[in-house]
Amino acid sequence: MISKYSSSASPREWASIARSSFGIKQDQVFVDVEELLTEILTVDVRRAVLPSLAGLLLLRMPRLEGTVLIEERDSWERQRFTLAHELKHILVDVTAGLIQIHNGILIHPDTAETLGYGMGSTAIGIEATADQFAGEFLMAATPFKKRLKGAPVSIAAIAGVAAEFRVSITAAVTRWVSCAEGRCVLIEIRRGKLYRFVPSSQFAAQSTSEKWLEVGADISPRTRVGRRTAGELEFELDAPGPTAISSREWMRRSTHKGNLMEDVLDVPQSGRLYSLIWYPEDFKSA
């Protein structure tokens, strides 16, 4: 259906084409992706325990008949994201021949790693773009930005919007970074090191004189997330919410004199830990 665009279009354009093809209004907040898959594309959605997988796409070609299996132990919001990720594979990658077919059967497994909420989205592979598509498809920019306009930046504020769109907080924070009009970055921390990150376009475009920590670098114990990693009970030290942190803690080299703002997202269900960092001067609320 979208194959003729797939060589040139971006995930944002695919999502916009898909939303209008399905008759989803520009400002519609909740999108029932499961109903679209089952009622319009007549693809079955089934839930099962899938050890080490988040989703599995099984299609009989060339008729696109088949099933999407999703991990039943994932949260409902996470399952919806997986379904939107698979929707992009069906609409774009399958029709463009980017997923291999064996004897007329297409099998595409997605692990919790390939389905990483677009983290490390400088990758242009089919998985990173499927995550970007899912974010754009489930959270259209217009209603998403409208809800946060003028509000001070915080994970708590974005979490409130996530509840309205019925997506996970992680997916909503990633989406917020992808459409932010200022310098900000969402990073994932594993074992005290910077594991991967997704920057806003302005963060990615800033000059190399701002030397951001690279992947694999140790996180300073003086950052908010560093204190969390060290096992300090941060809520005994700070009120929850954004904290000002010296730029030096996140930049190897910087001409930035002031503080950065940092807020932490801890997802106990998946054991993941993220930090959202932004330049406060870029996000002064009106």
Q: What is the nearest approach in angstroms of Zn ion to the Cβ of residue 130?
A: 5
What is the C-alpha separation between 242 and 229, in angstroms, rounded? 17
As measured in angstroms, the least distance from the Cβ of 5 to Zn ion is 19
Q: At what angle do helices 11-21 and 126-138 cross, to 10 degrees?
A: 50
Report helix, strand and coil shares of the chain as percent, to nearest 5. Answer: 35, 25, 40
Tokens standing for residue 51: 């050890």
Q: Among residues 34, 71, 74, 110, which is the contact residue for Zn ion, using CB under 5 A?
A: 110
Shortest Å, Cβ 132 to Zn ion: 12
Nearer to Zn ion, 110 or 136 (CB): 110
In this chain, which residue has its C-beta nearest to Zn ion?
110
Site for Zn ion in 208-267 (CB under 5 A): none
Strand partners, 56: 69, 109
- Show contacts with Zn ion in window 153-182 (CB under 5 A): none
Amino acid at 277: I
- Closest by CA to 171, choosing from 139, 215, 128, is 139
Nearer to Zn ion, 94 or 276 (CB): 94
**What is the number of alpha carbons within 13 Å of residue 172 lying toward its C-beta?**
26
| Stretch of 8-16, 109-117, 233-241, 255-263 contacting Zn ion, by CB under 5 A | 109-117
Kindly indicate which of the ranges 108-116, 153-161, 222-230, 247-255 contains the residues binding Zn ion, using the contact rule CB under 5 A: 108-116
Binding piece for Zn ion, criterion CB under 5 A, among 14-22, 105-113, 149-157, 220-228:
105-113
Nearer Cβ to Zn ion (14/212) = 14
Sign of dihedral through CA atoms 245, 250, 252, 258? negative
Between 36 and 130, whose beta carbon lies closer to Zn ion? 130
Total interface residues for Zn ion by CB under 5 A: 3
* Interface region with Zn ion, contact rule CB under 5 A, candidates 40-48, 58-66, 129-137, 158-166: 129-137
Least distance from Zn ion to the Cβ atom of residue 69, Å:
13
Residue 77 or residue 86: which is nearer to Zn ion going by CB? Answer: 86
State which residue, 74 or 127, has the beta carbon closest to Zn ion. 127
> How many Å apart are CA 209 and CA 247, to the nearest integer?
13
Question: In Å, how far from its chain's centre is CA 91?
Answer: 19
User: From CA 156, how far away is CA 229, in angstroms rounded?
Assistant: 20
Q: In the complex with Zn ion, which residue's Cβ is closer, 126 or 276? A: 126
Cβ proximity of 1 and 94 under 8 Å: no
* Geometric angle at alpha carbon 248, from 243 and 250, rounded to 5°: 65
The site for Zn ion (CB under 5 A) is made up of 110, 127, 130
